[in-house]
Amino acid sequence: MAKERLVFLSPVDPPGAWRAAFERAAPDIDFFVSRGEMASPETIDWAVVWRPPAGLLAGLPRLRCVFSLGAGVDHVLIDPDFPRHVPLCRVVDPYLTSGMSEYVVLHVIGHQRNLLRNIADQAASRWSPFLPRQADETRVGILGLGELGLDAARKLRPFGYSLAGWSASRKNEPGVESFAGRAELGAFLARTDILVCLLPLTADTQGILNAGTFAQLPRGAAVINAARGGHLVEADLLAALDAGHISGTTLDVFETEPLPATSPLWRHPRVLITPHIASMADPRTTAVAMADSMARIRRGEAPLHLVDPAKGY
Ligand code: NDP
Ligand code: OXD
């Protein structure tokens, strides 16, 4: 019998580690790397992708499942021809989750303790001691209380922050005040000194980090965006920074990636930039979960971490 075939397609993920991981997790599958070209599309059973070219997945008639190489699936669903009858799965992985929580804890503490001021002082050879705001006087608000938002909240809790989260549905997480739906967004923002965005990018959340949102935060609030560039209106953030309403920001994701060298964000003294590395899927554990999903599909069961394309996450 012919081997099942898996196409791996990503402009950013190095394929070597994924090939090795799939050789261990699914040795019976033929793993091949595509850079957009697709020989014998009628032979492809599985697709493991990051930002696949529009129309490519629709041209695979035997496709049984699409696996996003990330937790987010906006990069797949942006394709107007995405074959919606094919199951779409995302990454839910302990390494990806703990990596994101490390990033969030690092940057929340950085803004609470005004690390940006230390960086500026060092650049100016200026010895300028100051007392940071106490953690228990700092209100952290997380947009999105899903896999990543909830774990980040749990890992921030021991530091003593006053924690809240905003989600579509109400949560019942000890020590985290839950705000749900658009009607409660204003109250959530009004009590937030450090805002962390961990939302999926959907039609509802596109551009949510905008001038109106910033205006509802207390003066001097900080903003951390580790979700998607499409959540942020970059010009609105720059204006809020320059007006002193937002005191500082950490950005991992951008409307255009890589962030163009001409972007004023690179040179802004109150902006900390990381190159979309807040967290990543680890091939070793993720390939095992994907292989498990393939086995489930062969048995007629639902795969793991299935996405609802209608909701967009
Ligand atoms: P989940 O699907 O587990 O959680 C999403 C959360 O957002 C849920 O709490 C959901 O609410 C909430 N939400 C969705 N839409 C709305 C809305 N319209 N209004 C209010 N709340 C909403 O996702 P993850 O936590 O796994 O991942 C979140 C995102 O993080 C990913 O989609 C990806 O874009 C980004 N990411 C970025 C990485 C990076 O390196 N920068 C790495 C990994 C992920 P409810 O629970 O009620 O459904
Ligand atoms: C993801 C990402 O969605 O890395 O997992 O951005």
Each residue of 132-149: pLDDT tens digit?
999 999 999 999 999 999
Q: In a mutational test of the pocket of ligand 2, which residue from 279, 286, 305, 313 has the highest number of ligand atoms less than 8 Å from its CB?
A: 279
What per-residue confidence (pLDDT) applies to 224? 99
**Ligand found nearest the CA of 276:** 1
**Ligand found nearest the CA of 198:** 1
Ligand 2 centroid to Cα of residue 131, in Å, is 36
**How far apart are the C-alpha atoms of 270 and 248, rounded to whole Å?**
5
Q: Using one digit for the tens of pLDDT, what is the confidence trace for 17-58?
A: 999 999 999 999 999 999 988 889 999 999 999 999 999 999
Bridge partners for 173 per DSSP: 176
114's CB contacts (< 8 A; 6+ apart) are 130, 132, 133, 248
Tens digits of pLDDT across the chain (313 residues) = 789 999 999 999 999 999 999 999 999 999 999 998 888 999 999 999 999 999 999 999 999 999 999 999 999 999 999 999 999 999 999 999 999 999 999 999 999 999 999 999 999 999 999 999 999 999 999 999 999 999 999 999 999 999 999 999 999 999 999 999 999 999 999 999 999 999 999 999 999 999 999 999 999 999 999 999 999 999 999 999 999 999 999 999 999 999 999 999 999 999 999 999 999 999 999 999 999 999 999 999 999 999 999 999 9
**Ligand found nearest the CA of 147:** 1
Please work out whether the CB of residue 280 comes within 6 Å of at least one atom of ligand 2: yes
- HSE toward the beta carbon, residue 78, CA cutoff 13 A: 14
Ligand 2 centroid to Cα of residue 71, in Å, is 5
- If we measure between CA atoms, which residue out of 310, 284, 267 comes closest to residue 85? 310
- The yes-or-no answer on residue 276 being catalytic is yes
Structure tokens at 285: 């554990």
Ligand 1 centroid to Cα of residue 235, in Å, is 23
72 CA: nearest ligand 2 atom = 3
What per-residue confidence (pLDDT) applies to 67? 98
Which element (helix H / strand E) includes 194?
strand 194-197
**How far apart are the C-alpha atoms of 247 and 189, rounded to whole Å?**
15
Which of 5, 139, 228, 305 is labelled catalytic?
228
Which of 5, 107, 276, 305 is labelled catalytic?
276
What per-residue confidence (pLDDT) applies to 46? 98
Are 249 and 220 in contact by the 8 Å Cβ rule? The answer is no
- The yes-or-no answer on residue 111 being catalytic is no
Bridge partners for 33 per DSSP: 8
What per-residue confidence (pLDDT) applies to 277? 98
Q: Can you say how many angstroms the Cα of residue 227 is from the centroid of all Cα atoms in its chain? A: 4
What per-residue confidence (pLDDT) applies to 37? 86
Please work out whether the CB of residue 146 comes within 6 Å of at least one atom of ligand 2: no
What per-residue confidence (pLDDT) applies to 39? 87
Q: Is 225 helix (H, G, I), strand (E, B) or coil?
A: strand
